[in-house]
Amino acid sequence: MADKGNGAVSGQKDLADWKLSPDWADWHWQLAHRITRPEEAARLLGLPEGALAGAAQAAETYPMAVTPYYLSLIDAKDANCPIRRMAIPDPAELNVTTDDIEDPSQEDSYSPLPAIIHRYPDRLLITGSLECATYCRHCFRKRKVGGKRENVSLADIRAGIAYIRENEAIRDVLISGGDPLMLNDDIIEDIVRELREIPHVELIRIGTRTPVTMPQRISDELLDRLKKYHPVWVNTHFNHPREFSPESERALARLADAGFPLGNQSVLLKGINDNVDTMRELIQLLVKNRVRPYYLYHCDYLPGLRHFRTPLSRGIELLEQLIGFTTGFAIPTYVIDAPGGGGKIPLAPDYFVKNAKDEIILKNFEGTHYPVHVTE
């Protein structure tokens, strides 16, 4: 794209022109036109000079890529726009504290092969790709995804499928990454078909943020190829109501209509979704779009994520403000991926008040106390 060289207005016009082009709906075009430099994002958004100071330095350590679609969701007038904070590098990513751990879940120690993370007895993760349509600034696999970091090879994926074939205890396989929908249709179909041919694999899940950052990827052709191998679940990653658009809602509807049960994993992010109104709107939008909110992750203790992290108590308080006040199955399980490789530990509000004779006292969502018999 030619640089028209006159700052804000020309950049915003480029983005508006792009949106009107038929190419906008083509995921290959979206990928090919990803914005990889903060100054390019600033120009397209019409931000004043210096608005993204320090972003380039952060992008040298943790690469930047944003699809034109996801960039177009940014409110250029709002310096704290949640989409901007999740997509544009921030110098705070270079801050490291003594609590930070590069691989807090110790995934590497549960990785018998380059493409496999095998933490739980009956299920595992196979990496399809370590690339993503947009590199999230809050990514918990920052050490592995994007830029010049080594991607998994097709040979690694084949070795991973062979490992699954040999391990009869594996009944549930999550294809993740990075984002496995960065692979072309032929390769992702091959992976899903080969997994489906393994008799002990009951469940196949695909973890992808493309419905959020590049919904054009959810094409009819892709769905026609994958729906032959049901049950295939799709887990996605919406964090904020502003990530819903006509395009993302269409992608979710297509997936649901094609028979893919949909789940969502959010990350609790300070200043983005750590207030009850935002979280309620997010989970209600998800269920309205036939997506079950599944996990709400406590933000990991990773270098450069401190500015996104809330106290652990914040997630519990949020659940307390949601349980009973909205649809039960809209409420995600709040989990912490225990530092040290302990796996996911659920955290929930405590409704127990005290023990009484043959009874316990519980409180309900409104705080009213009720005695409950503890014997039959």
Catalytically active residues are: 119-120, 123, 132, 136, 139, 141, 300, 337, 344
Choose which of 132, 191, 302, 336 interacts with ligand SF4 (CB under 6 A). Answer: 132
The distance of closest approach from Cβ of residue 71 to ligand SF4 in the complex, given in angstroms and rounded to an integer, is: 15
The distance of closest approach from Cβ of residue 127 to ligand SF4 in the complex, given in angstroms and rounded to an integer, is: 10
Q: DSSP letters of 141-184? A: TTTTSSTTSPPPPHHHHHHHHHHHHH-TT--EEEEEES-GGGS-
HSE toward the beta carbon, residue 25, CA cutoff 13 A = 9
3-state secondary structure of 267: strand
The distance of closest approach from Cβ of residue 165 to ligand SF4 in the complex, given in angstroms and rounded to an integer, is: 26
Can residue 145 be called a binding residue for ligand SF4 (CB under 6 A)?
yes
- Round to whole Å and give the CA distance between 17 and 192: 37
| Region from 77-85, 129-137, 192-200, 339-347 binding ligand SF4, contact rule CB under 6 A | 129-137
Asked if 304 contacts 138 with a C-beta cutoff of 8 angstroms, the reply is: no
- Looking at the Cβ atoms of 34 and 141, the one nearer to ligand SF4 is 141
Choose which of 43, 119, 141, 280 interacts with ligand SF4 (CB under 6 A). Answer: 141
- Looking at the Cβ atoms of 14 and 300, the one nearer to ligand SF4 is 300
Residue entry with tokens 């097709």: 154
- Round to whole Å and give the CA distance between 41 and 11: 9
Site for ligand SF4 in 230-269 (CB under 6 A): none
Per-residue contact flags (x/-) with ligand SF4 for residues 165 to 204, judged by CB under 6 A:
------------xxx-------------------------
- Looking at the Cβ atoms of 128 and 315, the one nearer to ligand SF4 is 128
- Looking at the Cβ atoms of 198 and 255, the one nearer to ligand SF4 is 255
The distance of closest approach from Cβ of residue 316 to ligand SF4 in the complex, given in angstroms and rounded to an integer, is: 23
Q: DSSP letters of 325-344? A: TB-GGGSPEEEEEETTTTEE
Using DSSP, how many helices (H) and how many strands (E) does the chain show?
Answer: 13, 12
| Region from 48-56, 139-147, 228-236, 268-276 binding ligand SF4, contact rule CB under 6 A | 139-147
The torsion angles phi and psi of 4, rounded to 5 degrees, stand at -80, -10
Beta strand extents in the chain (DSSP E only): 116-120, 123-129, 172-177, 203-207, 232-236, 262-268, 291-298, 333-338, 343-347, 352-356, 359-363, 369-373
- Looking at the Cβ atoms of 135 and 233, the one nearer to ligand SF4 is 135
Residue entry with tokens 């040290």: 340
The distance of closest approach from Cβ of residue 218 to ligand SF4 in the complex, given in angstroms and rounded to an integer, is: 15
Q: Which residues bind ligand SF4 (CB under 6 A)?
A: 132, 135-136, 139, 141, 145, 177-179, 209
